[in-house]
Chains A and B, each alone.
Chain A
Amino acid sequence: MQPQIGRSVPRKEGRDKVTGKATYVDDFSLDGMLYGVTIRTPVARGRIRGITFAPHIRWEEFVIVTAKDIPGHNGVALIDEEQPYLAEHVFHHAEEPVALLAHPDKHLLEEARRAVTVNVEPLPPVLKMEDASRVFKSFLVQKGDVDSVWSGADFVVEGEYSTGAQEQLYIENNGMVAVANANDGVTVWGSMQCPYYVHKALRRLFDLPDHKVRVVQLETGGGFGGKEEYPSMIAGHAALLAWKSGKPVKIMYDRAEDMVATTKRHPSVTRHRTAVSKDGRLLGMEIDFAIDGGAYMTLSPVVLSRGTIHAAGPYYCPNVRVKSRAVATNHPPHGAFRGFGAPQSIFALERHMNRVAEAVGLSPEEFRRRNFIRQGETTATGQTINEEVDLSGLMETAFRRSDYYVKRERFSKTNNETTSKKGIGFAAFMHGAGFTGSGEDYLKSMVGVEATADGRFRVLVSSTEIGQGTNTILCQIAAETLGADYDAVEIAKPDTSSAPNSGPTVASRTCMIVGKLVESAALGLKQMMAQSDARPLRAFSQYTAPPGVRWDDEKYQGDAYGAYGWAVYVAEVTVDMLTWETQVDDFVAVQEVGKVIHPVLAAGQIEGGVAQGIGFALYENVVWRDGRMANNQMTNYIMPTAADLPPIRVYFAETPYAYGPSGAKGIGELPMDGPAPAILNAVEHATGLRVDHAPLTPELLCASS
């Protein structure tokens, strides 16, 4: 049997995807199904005075749901339950759901939607982070004694950095289909990352026991975090309409609604104050990190947590203090997006490290070389890095692949003579895989592997395929462990009525954490099969922390993540000094993510993440007008096209991680962290202009000249 790991087998659901047979939520229908739409608030904050239904519509044909129709608790169950499914008296952001309509005819439904007016008494909204008075969550991470370093430091370097909101922009908009009644309970089918999050939310909304709620994931056209929490809202809405009408209901968002109403990446502001010696050693880092949580808490505390822990980056520094907070504004809640706070704080750090290097009189690379964290040293949370790590080696590989040294020197010499200026820059960073701290202990994820009656195998998980390759890699891992052929292993559709809860599909945890559980369940099954010929036969495995992992939730100290991916990315740019446009000409991404399970899928994760990172760096600008996204169209919210992107050249170093399946670590979020600082560092090299905000639009660059 040839090895199944490290081999680029065909994607399990690939054939259905290339032939158009794959069933996404918009392709899924039930007999007698109605369509549903959402009526939303017109301004960012206020009181609801009433709802007017214009008389030209035959309202008796429509199902109408308001907060009064909710059978259970009117709050989306997540970390807290404050965000209402339907606002009743007051509201805290524009586009907040107030009422729901359903009708068999989509076109009449749209006409009806336009005939509803939510009458409001507007109140002044809070739209700037500095004006916010409510703090959802704050953290303090301390190492050593940072207050003692300033007076003895040769240099103290300060800087402020900020990032804007970013839309996930999965190509498939959000949607759900629901069937609901008091006898059978609630069933939903739809586009989502986390079936058990939706399950928990529906239980509370309808006040139903576990077995009366069923959640089934359909083929999902991209998530990137954007289908982590908001699907609970849409599932709830579809189910409320189904409950009241007694008929199946589909809610399918169009692009404009998906962009204006659902979550985006948290905008951020980071302040750095760094003490450094004249030989370029980091003595102390003080970091203040703030994110805009929007109107409700949703996932902001955990986004903040990851951003906070990554804020001091892959460097050894004896004295660190990171203070962070997520504040409440009247924007729609910001939420999960690939990287989950880390792209924001790493952007700040990797811009700032260049500034510190310059203050000391060292090249950016020499300064980093002197401060990179090494095996045996401790991070800001006091975690000792036990795994092998060689950031200098990754950096040299990245420089060799990008011809960094030669280009850095040549561009510096030739740029004066032209209006088309070239630059090269880089960023070094890491990304922790799995839930932070004790998160995986709380989740206690469970997976199963089954030997079926027809001599095949089936992986049982609620981890979702959202394009990243879950189906394929989990089957590879099971096949490898069982000594079976890849084609003999299949994966069951995520369905809460039959699949164990393997946790949410987030946090770069599917390969490393869930994959490891698949490996151990498959091992258990193999042992059972050696002793019994009975079929079907099932083995399960539940998460337990690797030995020696410790975390203190109170002090925010200890082993923040089981393992980290490490990376150095190099960007080469051309800046047109007449139009102020920046083009990325070449991109080299070097990373160490443990053993690579599937080389094609892994490279695909990096390439796609880098593309989103380039969008974050240069193009993707959410324009806010009175707390509402003004450019909620693909026409004027610009993501990279095939013509915009450079060659993205991906290289892996593979250092096996002892507690990952076949030595694999997490990979999905890592590539989001590096592109923005690498590109802005390259733009500074090209132009000498210092911009510390992403996205770096031509207007912003022009204004800084």
Chain B
Amino acid sequence: MRIELNCTVNGVARTTQVYPMARLLDVLREKLRLTGTKEGCGEGECGACSVLIDGALVNSCLLPALQAEGAKITTIEGVAAGEKLHAVQEAFLRYGGAQCGMCTPGMILAAVNLLERTPHPTEAEVRNGLAGNLCRCTGYTKIFEAVVKACES
């Protein structure tokens, strides 16, 4: 049996019919066609599916859709302001924070979230803040650099 889910995604009020235990990840990708949110492991380990829910970083593969009722959700599609990239996106582009790009949406949301909580993080805070998001390409070095540069700008 489906339920009606009402939530705000990237500033837009959305209503959709979903199975209550559908993964929020699938609702975003399949119902709302927001395919920027990625699936890497489906068990909350890799963070590729990270989205912001009411300001908290959440693995959307672990969240049943019904728990998103009334929530304000930000996905990677909502990070830039129109054509203008967010400072974190700009820095990832410039300093090599994205390679294959599969962890990038989740990693950028984790970085945005970190900088909202801690505008000038230490290196240890950056490492710990991003430790829930796995990247197999970069060794994280360029990602740390991008985050540091983003908060300078």
Contacts and interface: CB of A to CB of B under 8 A. Distances in A.
Nearest to A615: B136
A221 interface: yes
A475 to B, nearest CB: 16
B140 to A, nearest CB: 5
A604 interface: yes
Interface stretch (A361-369, A380-388, A564-572, A632-640): A632-640
Contacts, number: 166
Interface size class of A (residues with CB under 8 A): 35 or more
Interface in A211-256: 219-224, 254-255
Interface in B103-148: 103-105, 108, 126-128, 130-144
Q: Is the interface of A mostly helix, strand, loop or mixed?
A: loop
B102 interface: yes
A19 B101 contact: no
B42 interface: yes
A224 B136 contact: yes
A116 B133 CA distance: 36
Q: Which of B80, B102, B144 has the most CB of A within 10 A?
A: B102
A601 B99 CA distance: 8
Interface string A606-623: 011111100000000000
A296 B37 CA distance: 36
B19 to A, nearest CB: 9
A196 B68 CA distance: 44
A22 interface: yes
Contact of B100 (A19, A220, A607): A220
Contacts of A220: 100
Q: Which of B77, B80, B126, B135 has the most CB of A within 10 A?
A: B135
A170 B102 contact: yes
A467 B137 contact: yes
Contacts of B46: 171, 634
Contact of A13 (B96, B101, B102, B142): B101
B21 to A, nearest CB: 11
A219 B35 CA distance: 13
A532 interface: no
B93 to A, nearest CB: 5
A220 B55 CA distance: 30
A620 to B, nearest CB: 11
B122 to A, nearest CB: 13
Contact of A171 (B40, B89, B126): B40
A18 B102 contact: no
Given A171-B134, A171-B136, A642-B131, A633 B45 contact: yes
Contacts of A8: 96
Given A604-B138, A642-B131, A645-B140, A22 B43 contact: no
Contact of A222 (B43, B92, B96, B100): B100
A608 B134 CA distance: 12
B52 interface: no
Interface of A: 8, 10-11, 13-24, 26-27, 168-173, 219-224, 254-255, 466-469, 600-601, 603-604, 607-612, 633-635, 639-643, 645, 647-648
Given A21-B36, A171-B135, A642-B131, 9 more contacts: A15-B93, A17-B101, A17-B104, A18-B108, A222-B136, A634-B43, A635-B43, A641-B131, A643-B127
21 contacts: A8-B96, A11-B96, A16-B101, A19-B76, A20-B75, A20-B77, A24-B102, A27-B35, A171-B102, A172-B38, A172-B102, A221-B102, A467-B99, A469-B99, A604-B96, A607-B139, A607-B140, A633-B41, A633-B45, A634-B46, A642-B143
